[in-house]
Amino acid sequence: MDRKKVISLSLGVTALCVMGVAFALDRAYPPNLVRYHDISQMVVDRNGQLLRAFLSDDDKWRLPARVGDIDPRYIKLLKAYEDQRYDFHPGVDPLAVLRAIGQWVSEGRVVSGASTLTMQTARLLEPRSRTFSSKLVEMARAVQFEMRYSKDDILAMYLTLAPFGGNVEGVRAASLRYFGKEPKHLTLSQAALLVALPQSPERLRPDRHYMEARFGRDKVLARMEESVKFSQLDLAEARNEALPLQRMRLPFLAPRLSQRLVSASGDAVVRTTLKAHMQKSLEDILALEDMWLEDDASIAAVIVENANRDVIAYAGGSDFWGPAGQIDLAQSPRSPGSTLKPFIYGLAFDDLLIHPETLIEDRPMVFGDYAPQNFDKGFQGTVTIRQALRKSLNVPAVALLDDMGPVRLAATLSHAGTKLSFARQGTAPSIPLALGGVGVTLLDLTQVYAGLANEGEVTPLKITMDQKASQPRRIMGKTAAYYIRDILSGSSMPDGWTQRAGFARRHTVAFKTGTSYGYRDAWAMGYTRDYTVGIWVGRADGAPRPGAFGRNTAAPLLLKVFDILPSDQDPYVPKPANVIDVADRQDLPLRMQHFERRSKKKHVAAITQRSVSAPVIKFPANGVAVALPDEDAHQGLALKAIGGAYPLRWMINGELLSQSTDMLADTYWYPEGPGYADVVVVDAAGRSATAHVQVLDGHE
């Protein structure tokens, strides 16, 4: 074998050995990316715009950044200033190393370093003291990174981890803190400052050392004058641009919702359905209104796009830093006042009990031991259904609910996904439900009002983009929903609204107000073809606010919120085929011309069907323990009662169970798991019985 072949073979074997050793070392000592993955959790809007960020586990503002998210001029300046051959070297730049060694030999000191951006990234991931051995480790890591990752991936690590003073790391966090904007669009001066800052993050902070920061920025610009061909005009403008005198707060939109979503998700980024600009506008309105609230009251608001049920703005309160500011009041059960009345009328429309022009009596009436009065303590006499709902008269609403039974309304709302919170667990729905005798959250109430806007079909609201679509649930027919919209669209405006300068009613808003007992809660719920808005005003502790009611407190705010929304694309609402248009009330069927209470006769007839005694729960009996059915079981626990007037309705912990179409058939309960439950049965006469039971794991 000749000499050349021997040398070639030797070199080949050596190369293989080196590669083998490198491969073994790479597997034995993989890169430590813990710091890179320990980023600030972020909540963003549907377009990726930051709403709120949270500190990383090591208390840093460390926001992830990719090359495509950064202004190209910054990337160009960074490479030109830090690592001109970044795109070509294998992690270590031999020319830079030779230059540094030559300068060290000739000058007897370090004149310039040889660290590439890849080596700096290795140091950011695994901080070490500045020693010769540390430099060798960084060089080895740099080569390893280049073998494992793309150039853009390595640059993303640097862009995420580079220090910018204090606990700010990464160019995205720095741009937001110093300039109040994302780094997608930076001025030349801003880009140069962000390139200079990591050289000495504390010494070059413009909010603390303005002149040093200015000098550092200008040094970068001076270097660029030779290596990057910017125009002299651009460079002059950059040198004259003022630097920030203080750091800004990171975006802090939808703080309560963001906190809840982050707590429930382990994802680094939670993408919501919110629109950042709409969220900001809503919070600005609430902040201004909050200045007029002098009794520690707060405001919650929700805006929904009806077409897809997306929540586009959400405020759980108006002052996050005020008393009880961290409580999400949009998800706190409160008495809804009169805001449930439209659903009573909707069910009555469905039953063909009434028409908008039907006459109904608003006179003193007694329902058992309950004698409702109107807000003004007076009575209107004989009115139409349209007038009764628009004026929010109490006696007509209670009379209708008494006729159809409060369980019917509770079942309808529960079917729509509304969680009803009664004063005592296990309490059966009763007549006061018509006037707010139950707890409902603003979010749930907005959801069912969005159902009114969507022709009576309720679909769960979407708050996150990855939330799975749900099947709609119909709570009333299209005709009933049309009547409700037609009536509420004619609601009179709040006092003085039309005279307030700067506001115009650009939408035809169907809205309903409500006030809970003792002036504790003021509500305004409204919708157009495209949007639904819910407003709640009150104190977090539920204290009374005399004189503050829905019409004078929440309704003006509702219309202000609609004023910031775009006009409906198509405000026309098609009229269902079954709508009855009447020129004269006499054209209505006789039974629909004037509403008369049927509840007493109906209940007596129902009672005589089986028994005059009140219902008694036979299974599960009060105080017993029952076994959790097997997952493979085709039936749950059969609920049984004796006595009572049919049909019987069953509730578990305040939630109504679906009823069989056969009123005499058994109702089955499928417990979600072990625990305690209140089982309630309610008969057609409104009488109830309760059993407190314990559910045990069947495998125990």
Catalytic positions are: 82, 338
Buried b (16+ CB within 10 A) or exposed e, 185-220: ebebbbbbbbbbbbeebeebbbbebeebbbebbbbb
Distance CA 679, CA 626 (A): 12
664 close to 645: Cβ distance less than 8 angstroms: no
What is the spatial distance between Cα 402 and Cα 348, in angstroms, rounded to a whole number?
A: 11
Q: Pick from 365, 347, 448: which is nearest to 406 by CA? A: 347
User: How far apart are alpha carbons 335 and 520 in whole angstroms?
Assistant: 8
CA–CA distance, 341 with 386 (Å, rounded to integer): 12
CA angle 511–273–554, rounded 5-degree value: 25
Residues facing 382 on adjacent strands: 361
Please state, in angstroms and rounded to a whole number, the distance separating the CA atoms of residues 431 and 407: 9
Place of tokens 């073979």: 9
Q: How many helices (H) and strands (E) does the chain have?
A: 22, 22
DSSP H helices in 242-340 = 255-264, 276-290
Which runs of E-coded beta strand occur in 283-421? 298-305, 310-315, 359-362, 381-384
**Distance (Å, whole) CA 523 – CA 336:** 7
> What is the C-alpha separation between 627 and 584, in angstroms, rounded?
61
